[in-house]
Amino acid sequence: MSETVFKRMKSLPSAHLLGAGTSLCAGCGGLEALKEIYDILGEKTVIVNAAGCMTLLTIYPFTPFRGSWLYTAMASAPAGAQGIRDALDILLHKGRISPEEDLKVVVLTGDGAAYGMGLSSTSGAIERELDFLYICYDNEGYGNTGQQFSGATPHGARTSTSKGPRGFPGYKKDLFAIWSAHRPSYVATVVGAEALDLARKIEKAAGLKGPRLIIALSPCPTGWSYDPKETVEIGKLAVKTGVWPLKESINGEVVHTKVPHKRLPVEAYLERQGRFAHLFSPQRNKVLLKEIQARVDAYWERVSQPTLL
């Protein structure tokens, strides 16, 4: 692997490729990540989108993308990527287009599509070793339809379909592990708030061939109920508390890229978000808080003792 060009924050791109003034919510953590990613991928891309918040980035006749875009449906963006990639390869192979006309094919979906409805088409694309990049912005719910819980919703979170005192009874699915089990070229987690880590991973992914998949934790002021100006702070807290491990997997080997050695208690992350307010008032839900903390601790315990994995 070649050396990164992103040595420090200052080396990150200063001019931005993605246009401003979209209809997404102020402080959208998914958009924050997408901006950073697009700066690195550049405009020789075709973004293949599934139904979700990001679908509303391009509303006729506007688009913030300098490159190309295709909206498909909720379940089949990876299959759209397959069709475009195959077609470009055929055109290149038959000499009908020049290599300069080639594009990077990038899937962009929310967690609802990635963890659930689109999992079969993603699995198929990885199994066929499709040369593409998948960006999942993970706002931990069906955001576009009003933040109902999805397969990515964390335990205890209030969503519009889990409003009771215990919040969401299920557990966030381990998509990193599911994707990794397919042995794609590259899998990584990122968060927009850790821009340098994100840039290096996208740079690395862009330099590889085959299926490369990224899950970007995407703090969502609207769905998680917090002040939009806190998106970066909440993203950082997700990493510092160990709730969102930053890691990558190349050919099956998992490396944690930013280990929070002195982890903050999970409460520092949870208490900032309205979706967890019921854990703190009217009284502290000690049992649930303890359970959430224990799960995070157990994760990092396994990381520090790889033999337990």
Partner 1 sequence: MKRTLLTGNGAAAWGVRLAGVDYVPAFPITPQTEIIETIANWIDLGEMDCRMVTLESEHSMITAAGAAAATGVRAFTATSSQGLLYAMEMIYTVAGWRVPFVMVNVSRGLSAPITLEPDHNDILVARDSGFLQIHCATCQEVLDSILMAFRLAEDEQVRLPVIVNMDGFYLSFTREPVEIPDADAVTRFLPPFDPENICFRASAPVSEAVAVLGGPPYSYFRYETHLASLNAVPVFAKIAEEFAQAFGRTYEAVEAYRTDDAELVFVIMGSFATKAKDAVDRLREAGRSVGLLRPRLLRPFPNGDIRRILAGKKGVAVIDQNLSMGMGGVLHSELASALYGQAHAPPVLVSFIGGLGGRDIGPEEFYEMASVTRKAVEDGKAPAPRLLYTEKELREVRKLQAIAQVERENLGQNQ
Footprint on this chain of ligand TPP (rule: CB under 6 A): 51-54, 74, 109-113, 139, 142-145, 150
Tally of residues, the chain: 309
Residue 216 interacts with ligand SF4 (CB under 6 A)?
no
Cβ–Cβ under 8 Å, residues 210 and 184: yes
User: Tokens 């080396």 — which residue?
Assistant: 11
Distance CA 85, CA 57 (A): 23
Nearest of 245, 277, 278 to residue 263 by alpha carbon: 245
CA-wise closest residue to 122 among 244, 104, 146, 110: 110
Alpha helices (H) in 118-189, listed in sequence order: 119-127, 175-180
**Stretch of residues binding ligand SF4 (CB under 6 A), selected from 25-33, 70-78, 152-160, 285-293:** 25-33
Q: Is 91 in the site for partner 1 (CB under 8 A)?
A: yes
> Which partner in ligand TPP, partner 1, ligand SF4, none is near 121 (CB below 5 to 8 A by kind)?
partner 1
Contact (CB, 8 A) for 172 and 70: no
Q: 28 is in the binding site of which of ligand SF4, partner 1, ligand TPP, none (Cβ under 5 to 8 A by kind)?
A: ligand SF4
Should residue 17 be labelled a site residue for partner 1 when binding is judged by CB under 8 A?
A: no
In whole angstroms, the minimum distance from the beta carbon of 103 to partner 1 comes to 6
Q: Determine the Cα–Cα distance for residues 32 and 24; give it in Å rounded to an integer.
A: 11
| Candidates 71-79, 88-96, 213-221, 278-286; binding stretch for ligand SF4 (CB under 6 A) | 213-221
Residue 274 makes CB contacts below 8 A (sequence gap 6+) with 158, 224, 225, 226
Contacts to partner 1 by CB under 8 A: 43-44, 46, 48, 55-56, 58-60, 63, 65-73, 75-76, 78-84, 86-91, 94, 96-97, 100-103, 120-121, 123-124, 127-128
Contacts to ligand SF4 by CB under 6 A: 24-25, 28, 30, 53, 139, 143, 218, 220-223
